[in-house]
Structure 1
Amino acid sequence: MTVGAGIGVADGKLMVLGNCVLRDVKENVIVTAASGGALANGAFIGVVSDQIGSRRIFPIGKLEGLRFLCVFRFKLWWMTQRMGNRGQDIPFETQFLIVEARDDSSTIDDESKGGMDQSALYTVFLPILEGDFRAVLQGNEHDELEICLESGDPTVEGFEGSHLVFVAAGPDPFDVITNAVKTVEKHLQTFCHRERKKMPDMLNWFGWCTWDAFYTDVTSEGVKQGLDRYVYVWHAITGYWGGVKPGVIDMEHYESKLAYPVSSPSVQSNESCDCLQSITRNGLGLVNPEKVFNFYNELHSYLASAGIDGVKVDAQNILETLGASHGGRVKLARNYHQALEASISRNFPDNGIISCMSHNTDGLYSAKRTAVIRASDDFWPRDPASHTIHIASVAYNTIFLGEFMQPDWDMFHSLHPMAEYHAAARAVGGCAIYISDKPGHHDFNLLKKLVLPDGSILRAKLPGRPTRDCLFSDPARDGKSLLKIWNLNEFSGVVGVFNCQGAGWCRVGKKNLIHNEHPDTITGVIRAKDVDFLPRVADDRWCGDAVVFSHLGGETVYLPKDAAIPITLKSREYEVFTVVPAREVCNGVRFAPIGLIKMFNSGGAIKEMNYKDEKSTSVVLKVRGCGVFGAYSSARPKRIIVDSEEIEFEYEEGSGLVTVCLRVAEDELYLWNITYEL
């Protein structure tokens, strides 16, 4: 039986476009074709069962011998990544799974012979919401993939079971994931994909956070030293950590009642949360879901009247523990998120909200407006194990989270032994950039690589994700892999490379641990194809050649199609590469604009590029920012004009690097007009 455009069960196997992904599939498993949506090769997996109950587990089939990546909740609040090749490697609370299958004639080593392995097939599993139930994936000791279905309310026991997991497949992993989420969006109609959401403008400006700067000693004097525009204020989704106290004068209309959280056994098995235990002992004042819009609206309207531009809403996953007597976790979360987003829309017109401590699908599949989400556990400046873990976790979580919202990489310190490492990662992350330095304690040389004098940043266009050849390797634990994170600008790509080996979340100790104090130096390669969408910013005549500029090395390399550059990094080292499609102009000169080469994301400075006509040898750019602007030209330019003024330039015969110096513009967000006559 084959349904779902090439996805179905035949002879006890889940077949995906001719490839067996699961074996020994249970007889009660059903496959239903997706009706429309963004993806043709997709179907829903469900089960037929006469069981009822608020928590049920259904084996689906065996996963053996295929590489996979999953992201799962290792804490109530947060996700992280896990790689493996069999069912028992899949942890509890897995919310996203991508499996690699390939033709029998191909091998993993094929990837090293010419770039990306074109024989690979990527199958995505998205456990979703059905009615009042939420599905997640997990593995068992028999290598079976299981669906765990929960309502979060002992009285909510009946479920349909036909649409529990969406499965999709294709040759490009990033397109498959995006189109799978868009198909689920059409099916559920309870959330919106990131591309349909309004991004708050604060993402484009350098920011500062009071938390690490002052911790609990926040004062008006201290805050004033860091203020300019876009002020956000913190609150929990329930008001405060412990909610809203019942029976308080002038707050009775919120009808708050004391509730005692009950966590999912799956979450508890991954980590027992001290914070949750405290709330469980003392109870939480939960505002009546029918009154919670009034609570949010009164809070937010007051903040807006005081000049506040938005809020960071923490502890969102606490709602999943409070579903009893409210129709279950899904219903409670949806009521709260609808009320929250309605209040944000009314009071903060720039969509001023950062979602935080919110890595569960109850909220993700219920968010129609919220556009920014913290992508990992906190930045912990004093925990040496946390820094490499932070970078890897955000990158892999973004593969999933980035389909719903723009991931936020959290604040960092500019004066810190790992400051450059964190800064480089944020530059390729496509995220907001903000620090939590104490006023006056800054590394301005580092900040100048991130921020322009007017306070704006060169933000890349997409959520930064691991490159295709990093999807199934473990850059934190395997001792041999580098992490490469790619992103896109208007006319170029950017790749950050990081040695993240040596630390990770320990499934035995249930915490982050350093498992290798002295990780090895690792060598990898950079290719133009590492920027998966690079052809989308090149013209139709692009032949595949590119120019690659290394930020730390300062080297400009012309890279023929499918060629590679070696990169060697010691423990906790990084490098950032700008990757630009090379174009041949009519006189045979090859040209590629690089950008502001002293900044991490050099190519983010280029906003427009035009060739005057097919016969012209002139290239016209519009560029934002100041400092040294670099471009590649295979021949020395005849002259360069900036805003109608011919200026001096330097040209390196060996590398082809052309540089000019742009002064600081008087106007905010000013665009320079640069003309290269070749």
Structure 2
Amino acid sequence: MNFFFIFQSKITPLQSPIFWEGSEVQEKPNEMTVTPAVRITDQKVIVKDRTILTGVPDNVISTSGSSSGPVEGIFLGAEFDEERSRPVVSLGTLRDVRFMACFRFKLWWMAQKMGDKGRDIPLETQFLLVETKDGSYIESDDEDESNQVIYAVFLPLIEGPFRACLQGNNQDELELCLESGCDDINGKSFGHSLFVSAGTDPYSTVFEAIRAVKMHLKTFRQRHEKKLPGIVDYFGWCTWDAFYQEVTQEGFEAGLASLTVGGTPPRFVIIGDGWQSVGVDPQKESTQKTEEDKEENTNKPVPRLTGIKENEKFQKKDDPNVGIRNIVSIAKEKYGLKYVWHAITGYWGGVRPGVKEMEEYESLMKYPNVSKGVVENEPLWKSDPMKVQGLGLVNPRNVYKFFNDLHSYLASQGVDGVKVDVQCILETLGGGLGGRVEITRQYHQALDASVAQNFPDNGCIACMSHNTDALASDDFYPRDPISHTIHIAAVAYNSVFLGEFMQPDWDMFHSDHPAGEYHGSARAISGGPIYPPHNVALPVTLKVLEYDIFTVTPIKTLAPDFSLAPDFSFAPLGLINMFNAGGAIEGLTYQVRSGAQVENGLAHGEGAEARGDDVVGKVHMEVKGCGTFGAYSSTRPRKCRVESEDVEFGYDSGMGLVTFKLDHMPEESKRVHNIEIELG
């Protein structure tokens, strides 16, 4: 169950656009003209004097990306002869380039594809980065752009009730496809369905493009403008792969205990699918199943939500009214933050109609109408149980009340946030409700408002949400050996696009998996949260010689502003001949001439002044064990003392390394050596 952070001000259809870096000024005798960086001329799309598309049809129209001043990018659209709910137009022929496309290979998820011509562009492309083949990489850092490699970014957008995407055809044409998701919502005139921008640096070009589209759509903010939930900085645990839907209170507690005993206590916990009250529809009289039904599993009942509160597995046995608060209290007292899972429609099958406790939400059965492009990429949707059996959709007029009732109950039980899954299903349910864009907007506005009301730390994780109607990878599949390289490549390339307006989450992973080191290294550079879903029975202890420990010690500069004196820097290393050198240091205090005291690097209170006119500061340490103690000092220390007794020490001026011997273990009553080093 992969997921991604989406933050307050989330997003209606982001379909992001692109902005751009500069225009070219051409001077002729007695006149000066400003040439747009991106323009359509002679049926060609030209970016910084490089032709990207040829044979642009006459019904394709362009609009300046700037209301005043030099034109930095253009919006593209088209005029059609008649109104349609899914119009498609060619934007011209794409050849002799290199590109990366991020496209939806499933309803829920994006992946990347590379190519060099129009026919290589897949259906449901939501982000296209094109690189010109002409130009020199060597000169790409020069100010002269005449011979640089140029990058053009194509971002399909939301326009009115229509959502756009890109695709190629067999004639190498790049096509713009617009969909309303409702047969009754048609259009024939579009002016701002695609934003095109260009530059010599792909990263800054994407950033500026997203910024330009933000200013145009006014429906989202960029990542640097949003509040990150606290869990992004902590190690966590998710129950999904450990228990799947069979999670229980006992299993949950055992999992937390197992991680803690293994030395890796989680700072946040996500209770996945399995805690809610759900049920299947009353079964009709059984009918004879066809072989096709058996193979496609379309008759497997789809569970639906039957109540706001938890199921009996998470109720306190001697007092059921306590509910999920019992396990939340245990988790928070020991481990801190805690999230729970739910689908954006309540559950996989939605909210079950006809249930007395849920009548006020007025859910009705809806049957997904999956986009043609998605079905082409993911043919199994033709027989998916959710499509065949339908989904109980909460009336959009009541969806804020539904979210608020659910979230306020969870917040009252001590829950800090939610993981909201199955988000892309909304685009398939817009028929008769204003279309895919409108229903997505209504649900996300309600979700944002409820999260803001009930989880002030912006505690919301968005999952299965890789459409541009809402919004960095498919799931982690532990049993599929070929999926791991594909997974990491997909999230890395997706993040070039998604990372501009959200914090990509590269999904959970198993640290003891054969590909665990590969996945762990990727998570370390991702910037997102890290949370393995280990089963309580799986080992979490690394064996001897299967790991390294790196000790990083901050260097303090002794100065009157409590940062230690301009020419004096110090950092303790520990017992340097030991495997875990820094683990020997139990306590650390700095004293400076000003009288302020710095403990563990933090200045506070009134400390005793260092004695002696030449003493700039003292470092006090509590060290366990015995062996060779080492520290870094920018100058030779005046004295080193152990238990108030001066000891001989060595000093390497080239390395700044101070060393001395701790010949014996501390006295049993003290447990640690008290060490003092004078600097001056």
| Structure 1 residue 394 corresponds to structure 2 residue 491 | yes
Specify the alignment match of 1:499 in structure 2.
none
Q: Could you tell me the TM-score, scaled by structure 2's length?
A: 0.65
* C-alpha contact (below 8 Å) 1:39/1:183 kept by paired residues: no
Among 619, 630, 633, the residue aligned to 1:645: 619
Q: CA 1:144–1:293 in 2, change beyond 3 Å: closer, same or farther?
A: same
| Structure 1 residue 183 corresponds to structure 2 residue 212 | yes
* 1:406 counterpart SS class: coil
Give per-residue Cα distances to partners, 1:19-71, cap 9 Å, x unaligned: 11111111222221113699962211111223311001100011111111110
Specify the alignment match of 1:322 in structure 2.
429
* C-alpha contact (below 8 Å) 2:503/2:528 kept by paired residues: yes
Specify the alignment match of 2:292 in structure 1.
none
Q: CA 1:280–1:440 in 2, change beyond 3 Å: closer, same or farther?
A: closer
**How far apart, CA to CA, are the structure 1 residues paired with 2:118 and 2:557?**
49
Q: Report 1:73-92 matches (<5 A).
A: 73-92=104-123
* C-alpha contact (below 8 Å) 2:375/2:382 kept by paired residues: no
Specify the alignment match of 1:416 in structure 2.
513
Among 318, 338, 363, the residue aligned to 1:231: 338
Q: Which runs of 5+ in 2 are unaligned?
A: 1-23, 25-32, 257-330, 574-578, 583-598, 602-617, 621-628, 634-650, 660-676
Specify the alignment match of 1:19 in structure 2.
50
| Structure 1 residue 43 corresponds to structure 2 residue 74 | yes
Q: Report 1:627-666 matches (<5 A).
A: 644-645=618-619, 648-649=630-631
* C-alpha contact (below 8 Å) 1:38/1:182 kept by paired residues: no
* 1:441 counterpart SS class: coil
Specify the alignment match of 1:514 in structure 2.
none
* 1:434 counterpart SS class: coil
**How far apart, CA to CA, are the structure 1 residues paired with 2:355 and 2:37?**
59
Specify the alignment match of 1:598 in structure 2.
550
Give per-residue Cα distances to partners, 1:374-406, cap 9 Å, x unaligned: x21111111101111111111011111111210
* C-alpha contact (below 8 Å) 2:46/2:53 kept by paired residues: yes
Percent identical pairs in the alignment equals 48
Specify the alignment match of 2:149 in structure 1.
120
Give the partner amino acid of 2:619: E
Q: CA 1:422–1:119 in 2, change beyond 3 Å: closer, same or farther?
A: same
**How far apart, CA to CA, are the structure 1 residues paired with 2:557 and 2:180?**
53
Among 56, 68, 92, the residue aligned to 2:87: 56
* C-alpha contact (below 8 Å) 1:131/1:159 kept by paired residues: no
* C-alpha contact (below 8 Å) 1:39/1:180 kept by paired residues: no
Deviation at 1:317, TM superposition (A): 0.5
**How far apart, CA to CA, are the structure 2 residues paired with 1:6 and 1:441?**
57
* C-alpha contact (below 8 Å) 2:105/2:111 kept by paired residues: yes
Q: CA 1:170–1:55 in 2, change beyond 3 Å: closer, same or farther?
A: same
* 1:202 counterpart SS class: helix
**How far apart, CA to CA, are the structure 1 residues paired with 2:71 and 2:526?**
30
* C-alpha contact (below 8 Å) 2:556/2:569 kept by paired residues: no
* C-alpha contact (below 8 Å) 1:256/1:288 kept by paired residues: yes
Q: Which has the larger Rg?
A: 2
Give the partner amino acid of 1:161: F
Give the partner amino acid of 1:208: W
Among 388, 393, 396, the residue aligned to 1:286: 393
Q: CA 1:158–1:298 in 2, change beyond 3 Å: closer, same or farther?
A: same
Deviation at 1:432, TM superposition (A): 0.2
Give per-residue Cα distances to partners, 1:183-211, cap 9 Å, x unaligned: 11111111221122111001111100111
Deviation at 1:422, TM superposition (A): 0.7
Among 354, 359, 374, the residue aligned to 1:267: 374
**How far apart, CA to CA, are the structure 1 residues paired with 2:550 and 2:533?**
23
Among 540, 549, 553, the residue aligned to 1:443: 540
* C-alpha contact (below 8 Å) 2:100/2:130 kept by paired residues: yes
| Structure 1 residue 249 corresponds to structure 2 residue 356 | yes
Q: CA 1:277–1:230 in 2, change beyond 3 Å: closer, same or farther?
A: same
Give the partner amino acid of 1:145: L
**How far apart, CA to CA, are the structure 2 residues paired with 1:72 and 1:281?**
25
**How far apart, CA to CA, are the structure 2 residues paired with 1:284 and 1:609?**
63
Q: CA 1:19–1:217 in 2, change beyond 3 Å: closer, same or farther?
A: same
Specify the alignment match of 2:160 in structure 1.
131
Q: CA 1:152–1:642 in 2, change beyond 3 Å: closer, same or farther?
A: closer
Give per-residue Cα distances to partners, 1:189-241, cap 9 Å, x unaligned: 11221122111001111100111111222111221242412111111111000
Among 36, 40, 55, the residue aligned to 1:9: 40
* C-alpha contact (below 8 Å) 1:38/1:183 kept by paired residues: no
Give per-residue Cα distances to partners, 1:286-343, cap 9 Å, x unaligned: 1100100000000111111111111111110001111100110000000000001111
Give the partner amino acid of 1:261: P
Q: Report 1:212-611 matches (<5 A).
A: 212-225=241-254, 226=256, 227=331, 228-274=335-381, 277-364=384-471, 375-439=472-536, 441-445=538-542, 598=550
Specify the alignment match of 1:99 in structure 2.
130
Q: CA 1:276–1:344 in 2, change beyond 3 Å: closer, same or farther?
A: farther
**How far apart, CA to CA, are the structure 2 residues paired with 1:409 and 1:46?**
34
More moved, 271-280 vs 27-36: 271-280
Q: Which runs of 5+ in 1 are unaligned?
A: 365-374, 450-550, 553-596, 630-640, 661-674
* C-alpha contact (below 8 Å) 1:39/1:168 kept by paired residues: no
Among 157, 164, 170, the residue aligned to 2:199: 170
Give the partner amino acid of 1:439: V
* 1:148 counterpart SS class: strand
Q: Could you tell me the TM-score, scaled by structure 1's length?
A: 0.65
**How far apart, CA to CA, are the structure 2 residues paired with 1:424 and 1:356?**
22
**How far apart, CA to CA, are the structure 1 residues paired with 2:558 and 2:147?**
33
**How far apart, CA to CA, are the structure 1 residues paired with 2:68 and 2:475?**
36
Specify the alignment match of 1:143 in structure 2.
172
Q: Which is bigger in relative contact order (C-alpha 8 A, separation at least 6)?
A: 2
Deviation at 1:443, TM superposition (A): 3.5
* C-alpha contact (below 8 Å) 1:38/1:180 kept by paired residues: no
* C-alpha contact (below 8 Å) 1:3/1:33 kept by paired residues: no
Q: CA 1:621–1:166 in 2, change beyond 3 Å: closer, same or farther?
A: farther
Q: CA 1:23–1:409 in 2, change beyond 3 Å: closer, same or farther?
A: same
Q: CA 1:187–1:610 in 2, change beyond 3 Å: closer, same or farther?
A: farther
Specify the alignment match of 2:96 in structure 1.
65
* 1:381 counterpart SS class: coil
Q: CA 1:302–1:109 in 2, change beyond 3 Å: closer, same or farther?
A: same
**How far apart, CA to CA, are the structure 2 residues paired with 1:50 and 1:22?**
23
* 2:77 counterpart SS class: strand
Q: CA 1:3–1:332 in 2, change beyond 3 Å: closer, same or farther?
A: farther
Give per-residue Cα distances to partners, 1:590-641, cap 9 Å, x unaligned: xxxxxxx728xx7xx879999999x955568999xx9668xxxxxxxxxxx9
Specify the alignment match of 1:195 in structure 2.
224
**How far apart, CA to CA, are the structure 1 residues paired with 2:414 and 2:69?**
41
- Aligned pairs, number: 486
**How far apart, CA to CA, are the structure 2 residues paired with 1:447 and 1:315?**
42
**How far apart, CA to CA, are the structure 1 residues paired with 2:544 and 2:447?**
34
